[in-house]
Chain A
Amino acid sequence: MSLSGPHLSWDLVADWEQLTAYPFMVQALEAGAIVAVMAGAIGWFMVLRRQTFAGHTLAVISFPGAAAATLAAIPIAFGYFGACALGALALAAVGREGRGGRSGESAAIGTVQAFALGLGFLFVGLYGGQLAGLESLLFGTFLGITQGQVVTLLCIAVAVLSVLAVIGRPLFFTSVDGSVARAGGVPTRALAVAFLLLLGMAVAATAEITGALLVFALLVTPAATAQLITARPALGLALSVVLAFLVTWIGLGIAYFSPYPVGFWVTSLSFGLYVLVRLAAAPPRLRAAI
């Protein structure tokens, strides 16, 4: 029985015991919880500020960082954080270039992302074409997390969320109405840079666990769902964190009992939830048409 792999039953207590029987699963659940809370909170501001493209670019930038760290034989975490910090500063710099409305900004962000990917490709090539680890760089090693990584992750999350708590109120103000905030003496520019750095840190920490591609699912989807449900900031923020946490844990749980990867379940659950909320929020006339 024990050799035949995990079995899902109606006995939830037994299921939970199976799920937490192995240390790697416990660590994955712990890391998932930390990552989800951080991504849910940061992501809520990211969606509010309509900086999804910047968030995705930072997530992609973590890949050349990891490749560079592998090449230089330094711990990969340095690569993730260094690249994301640099990326955040680069995005902050080109944000100023983004005159001519959003079109200039989106071109600048796209250029930064393409250039970073090009560098990553160069580093992977210089490393000697050893691409075996690329899948885990892109899609993560959710099930190979050590206790040490969980502790590091917790420290980063506490730091990021503390800073966010300090700048949260003015940040919300500038995100909703930049010109009024500026007139009220809020340092809009400094806040924008600080937020991009926070986003970079959160993305770097998350990318190490979930891979560069799936960070994005935790950042954007729960937050977008929460903002569809409520416009009240405190409630929306809490909802975003709770949703991110739920999809991560349920996704991990389902992945444990199924042959398909965690990333697929987490993204599908959160996307399904988003679509449901969106349909429910659609005006009645439209709903009848659907």
Chain B
Amino acid sequence: MLGHEFMRNAYLAGTFVALACGAIGYFVVLRAQVFAGDALSHVAFAGALGAAAIGIDIRLGLFAATLVVGAGLGGLGERARADDVVIGTVFAWILGLGALFLSIFVSGSSGADGTAAVRVLFGSILGLSGGEARLAAAIAIAACLALAAIARPLLLASLDPEVARGLGVPVRALGVVFFVILGAVAAEATQAVGALLLLGLLAAPGGAARLLTDRPWLGVALAAAIAVGSTWLGLFLSYEIDSLPAGTAIIGVATAAFLLAALRDRARGGVRRNNRIPAITANAPDGAGARLEA
């Protein structure tokens, strides 16, 4: 299998993108910001189409769009408590912009049809060149290092923003930096492996790790391991089974991991429920929902 260059490239890019998505995903899940991550992947989609429509490098559009929107969402976080409704409203408009860019792009170049959009939405991890794969790996490693640099204060700010603020941690700035990192990973992952994989690798491994352990650093490691494992196994499955796309296989494995974690958690039942650190739920940065759900 590894005799093929495209498979080596897929494993190279896939491993590091999954590592970054898994580690960042744990924090995304901890901060209940999966919807924001999802929105960023669609923002990347609109940004790429916008760049294609005005005829500049797609990469430029991707990074500009996700970094600007990422910083905006992060900045809204602490002041106005950007809840899902605000994100959804901004997000709906950006999808509309995507529709506009797509129509300009499609009517502008006679040869192009929806395929560019499809490629951005679903990526093509098996179609990467050696250079593209190395670039994706490099950006993913840079994102991991940046995350590691802010990980400790970020964890405190995510678990208990009030205490963190009291200790002099710049909670809001951390939120912005975190979203900028997430935006960079979203931009790179979207074009290397597709928006679909990005969401799956953010949500499923992070969610599974949260269900498996209450210890944060173990959780980060678990999430990264599940993401990388899903990518490896998924790539292998799609190589063995002809009609199975790589993205579907990877998401399938990650979803299975999440389901297993949920079943295990349910089997262990109420004991853990009572042991759960109350601060996590009581002071989650999106209190609005918790109030309604409780």
B residues in contact with A105, CB < 8 Å:
32, 293
The answer to the question of B206 belonging to the interface, with a C-beta cut-off of 8 Å to chain A, is yes
Please determine whether B34 and A132 come into contact, CB atoms closer than 8 angstroms: no
B residues within 8 A CB of A125? 243, 245, 248
Contact flags A46-73 to B (C-beta < 8 A → 1, else 0): 0101111101100000000000000000
A106-126 interface with B by 8 A CB criterion: 106-111, 113-115, 117-119, 121-122, 125-126
Which of B106, B200, B262 is the one whose CB lies under 8 Å from A114?
B200
Check A134 against B114 for contact (C-beta < 8 Å). Answer: yes
* Contact between chains at A114 and B204 (CB < 8 Å): yes
Beta-carbon contact of A135 and B114 below 8 Å: yes
Contact A217 B95 (CB under 8 A): yes
B292 adjacent to A220 (CB under 8 Å) = no
Number of A-B residue pairs at CB separation under 8 A = 233
Residues of A within 8 A of B290 (CB): 101-102
- Contacting A at CB under 8 A, from B237-294, are 243-245, 247-248, 250-252, 254-255, 258, 262, 265-266, 273, 276, 280-281, 284, 286, 288-290, 292-294
Q: Are B97 and A264 in contact (CB under 8 A)?
A: yes
Smallest beta-carbon distance B38→chain A, Å:
6
Question: In the complex, which of the residues A49, A52, A111 contacts B207, with contact meaning CB atoms closer than 8 Å?
Answer: A111
In the bound complex, residues from chain B placing their C-beta under 8 Å from that of A135 are 102, 106, 113-114, 117
Question: How many interface residues does chain A have, given as a range?
Answer: 35 or more
- Give Cα A107 to B223, complex, Å: 12
Question: What are 12 A-B interface contacts by the 8 Å CB criterion?
Answer: A100-B210, A104-B210, A117-B199, A118-B248, A125-B245, A177-B292, A213-B42, A213-B98, A221-B89, A224-B86, A267-B93, A271-B89
Q: A52-B35, A104-B210, A268-B93 are in contact. Are A115 and B255 (CB under 8 A)?
A: yes
Q: Is the CB of B113 within 8 A of A118?
A: no
Whether A138 sits at the interface, judged by CB under 8 Å, is: yes
Binding site secondary structure of chain A: helix
B251–A118 touching, CB < 8 Å: yes
List residues of B (7-50) whose CB comes within 8 Å of A's CBs.
Answer: 29-35, 37-38, 42
Residue of A nearest to B79 (CB): A286
Interface residues as binary, B53-83 with A (CB distance below 8 Å gives 1, 0 otherwise)? 0000000000000000000000000000001
Q: Which residues of the other chain, B, contact A102 by a CB distance below 8 angstroms?
A: 32, 284, 286, 289-290, 293
- Are B30 and A103 touching (Cβ within 8 A)? yes
Main secondary structure of the interface of B (DSSP, over half): helix
A122, B85: Cβ atoms closer than 8 Å:
no
Of the residues A49, A122, A214, contact of B99 by C-beta under 8 Å: A214
Whether the pair A132, B99 counts as a contact (CB closer than 8 A) is no
Task: Identify the closest chain B residue to A265 (Cβ).
Answer: B96
A217 proximity list for chain B (CB < 8 A) = 92-93, 95-96
Residues of B within 8 A of A (CB-CB), count: 76
Q: Which of B35, B210, B266, B284 has the most CB of A within 10 A?
A: B35
- CA gap between A101 and B294 in the complex, in Å: 8
Query: Closest residue of chain A to B276, judged by CB?
Result: A100
B203, A110: Cβ atoms closer than 8 Å? yes
Q: Provide the residues of chain A in CB contact with B102, threshold 8 Å.
A: 135, 139, 261
A121 and B249 alpha carbons, distance in the complex (Å): 10
State A185–B218 Cα separation when bound (angstroms). Answer: 42
* Complex Cα spacing A115 to B38, Å: 13
User: Given A50-B292, A118-B248, A139-B99, A97–B117 Cβ distance below 8 Å?
Assistant: no
- Closest A-chain residue to B25, C-beta based? A107
A195 vs B77: C-alpha distance when bound (angstroms): 28
A15 and B58 CA atoms in complex are apart in Å by 39
The CB with the most chain A CB atoms within 10 A, among B35, B87, B99, is that of B99
B161 → chain A closest CB, angstroms:
14
Task: Check if B179 is an interface residue, CB within 8 A of chain A.
Answer: no
Cβ of A285 within 8 Å of any chain B Cβ, yes or no, is no
Q: Which of A224-280 contact B (CB under 8 A)?
A: 224, 227, 259-261, 263-268, 270-271, 274
**For B104, what are the chain A residues with a Cβ–Cβ distance below 8 Å?**
260
